[in-house]
Structure 1
Amino acid sequence: MKIQAQWWAGLLMAVWSVASAADINTLQRLNETGTLRVGYGDTAPFSYTDDEGNVLGYSIELCQRVAAQLQQQLGLPTLDIEYVFRTPGNRVQLLNSGDIDIECNASTNNAERRRSAEFSLSHFFVSVRFVALKENQFLTLQDLAGRSVSVARGTVNVSQINQANRERQLNLSVVPVETLQEAFDLVTEGRVAAFAMDDILLSTLIAAAEEPSAYSLSEEAITAEEPLGLLMREDDQAFVAQVNQALRTIYRRGDMQVLYERWFQQPLPGKGITLNVPMSDTLAQHFMNPQG
C-alpha cells in the first residue's frame, strides 16, 4: 500500500507540474511583474558566482543582453532579472513550477531534452568526452572497459554513456552524482576511472584543479558535436519566439566575438584561470547566420 501511495503521489505531482506549466503565460507575466527569472548553475564559464555572490558568466552576460532586447521588443518600461540557482536535476521542474522562466547555462539541445523543454537558438557547441588521470593513460572508451565512470545526475550524459556502454559492450559501472565537481573529485580521488561530460566543462574543471597537468581529456569523443541553448518551458512558443528574435538581433550586431573572448580566452573573473579555447568554426558560422 505504501508503494502504491507513493506511486499515486508521484503521478499527481507530475500532472500538477504539467498543468502548472501550461497555466503560465510568460510574456504576460513579464508585462505584469517586470521581472525575468533566470536559472543559473555552478558551471563556469557559462554561469557561476564569484566570491562576493555575483552571478556571472558567458550565458549570464548573453541573457542580460537578451533581457535588454526583450524590454525593447515588448515595450516594457523596465525588465529586471531575478537569479535562481538550479541543478541539472531540478531545472525542468523549476521551469514548470514557474520559479524560473529561462535557464541561462549550458544545456544540450537534443531530442531527449526537447521532450520536456524548449530551446533557444544555440549559443555554443560541444562534444562529450571524458577526463581521467593522465598516469592511467585512458584515452579511448575501450580503455575504460570494465571500469567505473562518473556522470552528473540530470544531464544527457547519463543516457549517452549508458548507450555507448550497451552498444560497445564495455561493462562500465556508471556512477551518478549530483554535481560536476563531485564527479570530477571522484576521478581525482581514484574512486572512478573517468568522468564523462561536455568537453568545454571538463576543460574548465581541469584548469581549476590544483594540478591541471595530472589530468587528460580523452582523444575519442563520445558524441558528435552538439548545440547548447537557453532552456525554456515546454510549449511556451510565444516566449521562445521573442527570445530567438532577441538573439538574432544580438548575434547580427557583430560583437559576439568580443563577448566570447571575454569568457573563453581571457582570465575568468573570480576564478584565476584562463581556458584559451578559440571559437569553433561551427559557432562562428552560427553567429553569422543563426538557424533554428
Structure 2
Amino acid sequence: MTKHWTNKTLAALGLGLGLLAMASQGAFADQLADIKSRGKLQVAVDTGNPPFAMMDAEFKPTGSEIETAQLLAKDLGVEVEFLTVPTSGRIPFLVSGKADIVVSTLSITPERLEVVDFSIPYSETTIIVAGPKEANIASYADLAGMSVAVTRGTVNDTKLTDSTVDVPNVQIVRFEDDPTSSSAITSGQFSIYATSRPLLQQLIQSNPNLDIEEKFVAQAFPLGIAIRKGEPELTNWINAWIKTNLDNGKLLDIYEKFHGARIDVDKLAAMDLPR
C-alpha cells in the first residue's frame, strides 16, 4: 500500500524535525570551528539525482553537487567526506547531527526553513511534469484520472500534491528516491512523472526509445546549502564563499560542465525567496 503524505502529515514531520533541531542546537556551538579542528567536512548527498549527483563507473560520487562540495571543502582547507542518503533523508540526516551540511539539490522552501537554515542560492533547478508524447497534458488540471509517479519529500511532491487538491481522481504514487521513481517510468509501470528537468533529460538520454517528454514547467527553484539552525559562523562563511565563487565563475563552470548550460546569475538573484 502506497503511503500518501498529506499536508497535515508533512506539517507533523516538520514539527518533529523542528523539535529535534531545537534539541540538537546545544550540541553544536560553533560548527565552523569544529569542522576546521576536525579537518573534515561531512556532506550529506543523494547520489541518485544525475547530473547533480551520481556514481561514476568506478563507483565514486560525481556531479555538479559533488564538485561544488569538493570546492567548498578545499577553500575551507579541509577534506570532504560524502555521506550518501536517500532523497527523503537529506534533512533528517543533517538535523540529527550526522552531517555538517547538505549539498543535495535542496530547494529553499518555507517548510524546510522551519527546520534548517539555508545559504543564499548557489544554483537552481526546474521541476516539470513529463508524460507520453501524444498525451494532452499542459497543466495540473489535465492530470484528472491519471496516476503520477513522484519522489517522496521533494518539491516535486509538494507542488504536485498542492496543485492537484481539486483535480479529480489523481493518484499520486510516491517512491523513496529518484532511481526508484525513474525505474517505475522506464519499466512502463507509470507514464506520468513529476520530476526535475535535469533528471528527465538524463532519463531520456539513457533511454532514447522511452516515450516521454516534458509536458509543462511547474516551477523554478533556487537551491541552497542546508545548515543546522544556530550556526551563524558557518552560515556566514558559506554565504561569502558562494558570492565569491559566483562572481569568479567557478560555480558557473561546475554547473555548465554537468548540465550543458550556464546559470543566469541575475535570474538566480531575482528569484523569490521565502521570508
Question: Which category describes the TM-score, using the shorter chain as reference length?
Answer: 0.7 to 0.9
Q: Of 251, 256, 259, which residue of structure 1 is paired with 2:246?
A: 251
Equivalent runs, 1:107-146 vs 2, <5 Å? 107-146=106-145
Q: 1:285 aligned to 2:266?
A: yes
CA RMSD of aligned residues (A): 2.7
How much does 1:250 deviate? 1.4
| Of 224, 227, 230, the match for 2:225 | 230
Gap runs ≥5 in structure 1: 1-10, 72-78, 266-277
Tell me the distance in 2 between the aligned counterparts of 1:32 and 1:118: 22
1:20 aligned residue (21, 24, 37): 24
Residue 240 of structure 1 deviates from its aligned partner by 1.0
Amino acid paired to 2:129: F
The residue that corresponds to 2:257 in the other structure is 262
Task: Name the structure 2 match of 1:65.
Answer: 71
Give the aligned partner of residue 47 of structure 1.
Answer: 53
Query: Relative to structure 1, is the Cα distance of residues 211 and 221 closer, same or farther in structure 2, using a 3 angstrom cutoff?
Result: same
Aligned to 1:82: 81
Looking at structure 1, the residues matched to 18 and 249 of structure 2 have their Cα atoms a distance apart, in angstroms, of 43
Unpaired segments ≥5 residues, structure 2: 1-14
Post-superposition Cα deviations, 1:184-237, rounded to whole Å, max 9, x if no partner, equal: 23233343341112222222222222525x21111x3223x2211222212322
Contact 2:148–2:172, Cα closer than 8 Å, also in 1:
yes
- The percentage of aligned residue pairs carrying the same residue is 24
Q: Deviations over 1:33-69 (max 9, x none)?
A: 1110011212111111112121111111122221222
TM-score, with length taken from structure 2:
0.82
| Aligned partner letter, 1:98 | G
In structure 1, which of residues 191, 195, 198 is the aligned counterpart of residue 196 of structure 2?
198
The residue aligned with 1:189 is 187
Between 12-21 and 104-113, the greater mean CA deviation after superposition: 12-21
Change (3 A) 1:106 1:206: same
Cα separation, partners in 2 of 1:16 and 1:221, compared to 1, 3 Å: closer
SS for the counterpart of 1:90 is: helix
Q: Where does residue 8 of structure 2 map in the other structure?
A: none
Match of 2:38 among 16, 33, 48: 33
